[in-house]
Amino acid sequence: YLQLQYQVPRPMPLYQRHVELYRKRLQDERKPHAAAIYDSENKGDPSAESWNEFFFDDTDDRREIYLQEADIDFGAMSNVGGVGDYRSITVVNRTDVKYTAMFMVPPDNYVDQPEGAGEIELTTLGPVLRPLETCWKIFPEKADILPHSSTQFKVAFRPVYGNAYYAQALELFAYPKSQRNFRLVTDENFVPSHCVRPVCSGNTFPASMEAFTPKLRVPTTRINFPPCTVNDKAYQVVEMFNDADTPMRYQFDADQLGIYMV
């Protein structure tokens, strides 16, 4: 184990000071992402910056790395155990440097794992992590994204059980290609990895079968916002409860006037 451990490429250790220095550089360079978070008229609210950042979803084109689509729905699939259809996930790099992007797919608890899965295996090409089996297959698992460009990944849905609903958040981590090794990084130029999370879903129920009725419960239908200055933002929280025994998909219609955003 120790022999394998020393041969695995070691990334730069990430500390809180690296994150703070990176955020400071983004503010000094007036990057759109940082400006939208920290330029707030409501300076008296210490939570304003946290709220602003919370409302940046993974498809916001002001991010350094963002997705063109974050909700991947495969719908009903009757070919259990087959190859299945593919969907595309497009990752955009709006920075001035090349990034390396790689997917981390959580293993499925209901899929039998082969012997040795999740362990490091020493090969002639170096140490290789043997992947864990999952219903979601990504091709390729790792790719480079050129500056101000985009790369497409293919995701396949390969369910193993019929009459089941599947949903999984996939994690994509992207880091500058120049920081592939800890020897190439200093505290002053370290860029923490970006993480975006496309959500994939699908089911293996017959297409004509309507077995589920949504059971959504919202405690209140009236939302009162606190006072807010002109051209700034105020936030409020709404709780939604799913009282059914299966996942429920929902979608909010966009405000045509652009005043409210969910």
Residue 103: CB partners within 8 Å, gap ≥ 6? 138, 141, 142, 153, 170, 171, 172
Q: How far is 153 from 137, CA to CA, in rounded Å?
A: 10
Read off the amino acid at residue 33. Answer: H
Least confident of 186-190, 241-245, 255-259: 186-190
pTM of the model: 0.77
Return the higher-pLDDT residue of 125 and 154: 154
With a cut of 60, say whether residue 4 has pLDDT above it.
Answer: no
The model's confidence at residue 44, banded by pLDDT at 50, 70 and 90, is low
Return the higher-pLDDT residue of 40 and 95: 95
Burial class (CB in 10 A: 0-12, 13-18, 19+), 75: exposed
Q: What is the pLDDT of residue 104?
A: 84
Tokens coding 212: 């589920």
With a cut of 50, say whether residue 177 has pLDDT above it.
Answer: yes
Pairing state between β 86-93 and 71-76: unpaired
Q: What is the pLDDT of residue 174?
A: 93
Mean predicted confidence (pLDDT) in 199-205: 86
Task: Select from 207, 212, 105 the least CA-distant residue to 157.
Answer: 105
Q: How far is 214 from 241, CA to CA, in rounded Å?
A: 11
Phi, psi angle pair for 169, to nearest 5°:
-90, 120
Mean predicted confidence (pLDDT) in 189-207: 86
Q: How far is CA 120 from CA 8, 12, 45, 181, in A?
A: 9, 20, 48, 19
The predicted-structure confidence for 81-138, as pLDDT tens digits, reads as follows 666 678 999 999 999 999 999 998 887 766 666 676 667 777 666 666 666 778 888 8
Q: What is the pLDDT of residue 41?
A: 58
Mean predicted confidence (pLDDT) in 136-146: 90
The model's confidence at residue 65, banded by pLDDT at 50, 70 and 90, is very high
Mean predicted confidence (pLDDT) in 8-17: 72
How far is C-alpha 55 from the chain's CA centre? 14
The model's confidence at residue 155, banded by pLDDT at 50, 70 and 90, is very high
Burial class (CB in 10 A: 0-12, 13-18, 19+), 51: middle
Element (H, E) at 35: helix 32-38
Least confident of 1-5, 31-35, 102-106, 125-129: 1-5
